[in-house]
Amino acid sequence: MSKTEYNVKTIEWQSDEVVMIDQRVLPLDEKYIHHKTWQEVGDSIKTMVIRGAPAIGVATAMGMALAAMQSPATTYEALKQDLDAAAQGLFITRPTAYNLGWALQEQAKIYNEPGDPDDIRRRLKERSQEILDEDIAMCVAIGEHGAPLFPKGARILTHCNAGALATAGYGTALGVIRSVFKRDPSIMVYADETRPFLQGARLTAWELQQEGIPCCLITDNMSGYFFKKGEIDAVVVGSDRIAANGDVANKIGTYTVSVLAKAHGAPFYVAAPTSTVDLSIPHGDHIPIEERDPAEVTHFREVQCAPSGIDVCNPAFDVTPHENVSAIITEAGVHLEPYSESLAAAKKGK
């Protein structure tokens, strides 16, 4: 797959800087932020300049490479100390995304072995680029595995953004949709807006528009209406973490969509790389759910839309139980119940 196929550059190295498209200001503004330190990368993860579990993984790996470059250490021990501190700082930015911890472990494999500091610096940067390249390749594989699941002319609902912007490119759920569209241009996509952060309205609608994939934007509470009218044939979403039994943590609202899909007999697919599968967690109750700033709910960008002082809940994710998941699509294939077996086999195969 050539690079020119991608209209969207989510994150990349430009010499020794990590450059990210600022996803907070899309789709009205296309702004790129340059990062010279791991702290800047951490801030960008926390404030959602970059979001989406696979993209966060890439950013984390690059952040660790920046940490190595920043460090004035001339000995292995001093460098390792700085890298451990950076890893701790990056780890706490977003608690739900499993790829974040996975990327830290990947980089730790390099710097946990004593070696020449400059050699470690070089290898951390190389590995972060590899993770980016692998991520795109995985997304394309996910798309190819997932595409045959959809009927001709499918009307597909997706929630949040699991697109090129949530990954290094191509996307997981939107990767599947891209692959379906290549085979069947008669499909259409319902993108729900995904309050409070509006990833659907701002990012998914924008990506689909860039690709020329027919898309209808709806608010989150409209999907039941379209399910009831028989106008949604299937759902595909991404994931931030998948437990060993197939329980799926994803953007808040995913669980509601899964209940609607089940009630209306529509298949509910999850698309994610195997790096999102956390076999150490037996089921979804163990997945930490991040609670975010109440202002995301009381405000719509800078516009206040609720009375001052009102109590707010703002869980950023929910867990869809595996019973509501028709299949999990990874780069290794299409996995079915019992997920405890199929996911373990997929991880082992890697």
Regarding 57 and contact with a copy of itself (CB under 8 A), the answer is no
295 to 314, contacts with a copy of itself by CB under 8 A? 297-298, 300-307, 309-314
* Count of residues that bind a copy of itself according to CB under 8 A: 55
Catalytic option among 240, 247, 278, 318? 240
Regarding 263 and contact with a copy of itself (CB under 8 A), the answer is yes
Regarding 216 and contact with a copy of itself (CB under 8 A), the answer is yes
Q: How far is the CB of 323 from a copy of itself (least distance, A)?
A: 12
CA of 154: how far to CAs of 123, 168, 188, 237, in Å? Answer: 44, 26, 7, 15
152 to 211, contacts with a copy of itself by CB under 8 A? 159, 192-196, 198, 201-202, 205-206, 209
Regarding 217 and contact with a copy of itself (CB under 8 A), the answer is yes
157, amino acid identity: L
Closest CA to 56 of 71, 70, 67, 46: 46
Regarding 318 and contact with a copy of itself (CB under 8 A), the answer is yes
In the block, tokens 């450059």 appear at 19
107 to 146, contacts with a copy of itself by CB under 8 A? none
5 to 44, contacts with a copy of itself by CB under 8 A? 27-28
Catalytic (active site) residue 118: no
Q: Which of 181, 255, 268, 339 binds a copy of itself (CB under 8 A)?
A: 255
- Specify the DSSP element, H or E, that contains 328: strand 327-330
Q: Which of 21, 67, 176, 260 binds a copy of itself (CB under 8 A)?
A: 260
Cα(59)–Cα(314) distance, integer angstroms = 24
What's phi and psi for 125, nearest 5 deg? Answer: -65, -45
CB atoms within 10 A of CB 308: 6
Residue 189: which residues within 8 A CB-CB, separation 6 or more?
Answer: 155, 156, 157, 158, 177, 208, 213, 214, 215, 216
Q: How far is the CB of 315 from a copy of itself (least distance, A)?
A: 6
Closest CA to 159 of 98, 220, 206: 220
Question: β-strand 303-304 against 299-300: which pairing, if any?
Answer: antiparallel
User: Residue 245 or 275: which CB sits closer to a copy of itself?
Assistant: 245
Cα(261)–Cα(2) distance, integer angstroms = 36
Q: Which of 73, 149, 218, 344 binds a copy of itself (CB under 8 A)?
A: 218
Q: Which of 19, 69, 149, 222 binds a copy of itself (CB under 8 A)?
A: 222
Q: Which residues pair with 317 in a beta bridge?
A: 251
Closest CA to 131 of 161, 114, 163, 109: 109
What residues are labeled active site?
Answer: 240
Interface contacts to a copy of itself, rule CB under 8 A: 27-28, 159, 192-196, 198, 201-202, 205-206, 209, 214-226, 228, 252-253, 255-256, 259-260, 262-263, 297-298, 300-307, 309-315, 318-319
